[in-house]
Chains A and B, each alone.
Chain A
């Protein structure tokens, strides 16, 4: 199985900051990576698919990059509604494993 490792596990930031979250796959997954945002008590929401494609309706301050084994999610200017937990997921092969999550907290 492909292991997905996110870093950091948690990050504190302020409104307006630029934040980057990293996801590393244990083997190459081409560009088959998705990023999700989850708020407490809610279902995850797809932000980015195929590593860098912005899901419809998602603000353009979210962007994704990478291919192979190393990927990043960047939020260019944090808004209050962005404080949440973020997960990466590989969709290259089954099982479609998730990273352990990155909790983005208000500084």
Chain B
């Protein structure tokens, strides 16, 4: 069965950095695009970033562009999100999610990892 397990969350000071990982299993990871989506406490869902199956194209929300970098290692079945210059408003649960198809949404999600940006 498909499993996505995020890790790497924690408490970080404003201006700091953090790298999230998402370990994938149960499907051919190298054949699917992957997303990061976040949810601030008590708020709605915010799409963050997407990477194509082969890493050839990446897309970002304006709110994170230039600060966050999405990447993947298909040999390790792992998705990453490098987050730099973190702000208080980046505090959220971060989910990785598997693309169903390029235009159909995401069919599997991890359990999420909490990132708290606070001094």
Contact B104–A50 (Cβ < 8 Å): yes
User: How many interface residues does B have (CB within 8 Å)?
Assistant: 23
Asked if A91 is an interface residue, CB under 8 A from chain B, the answer is yes
- Residue picked from B59, B62, B102, B109, most chain A C-beta under 10 Å: B109
Contact A49–B62 (Cβ < 8 Å): no
Asked if B95 is an interface residue, CB under 8 A from chain A, the answer is yes
With A43-B111, A101-B45 given, is the CB distance from A49 to B50 under 8 Å?
no
**Residues of chain B with a CB closer than 8 A to A94's CB:** 50, 59
Complex CA gap A91/B103 in Å reads 5
Binding site for A on B (CB under 8 A): 35, 37, 44-47, 50, 59-62, 95, 100, 102-107, 109-112
Contact B104–A44 (Cβ < 8 Å): no
With A43-B95, A44-B109 given, is the CB distance from A32 to B104 under 8 Å?
yes
Complex CA gap A100/B95 in Å reads 17
Contact A91–B62 (Cβ < 8 Å): no
Interface residues on A, range: 20 to 34
Binding site for B on A (CB under 8 A): 1, 32, 34, 36, 38, 43-46, 49-50, 53, 55, 87, 89, 91-92, 94-101
**Residues of chain A with a CB closer than 8 A to B103's CB:** 32, 50, 91-92
Contact A46–B61 (Cβ < 8 Å): no
- Residue picked from A1, A92, A95, most chain B C-beta under 10 Å: A95
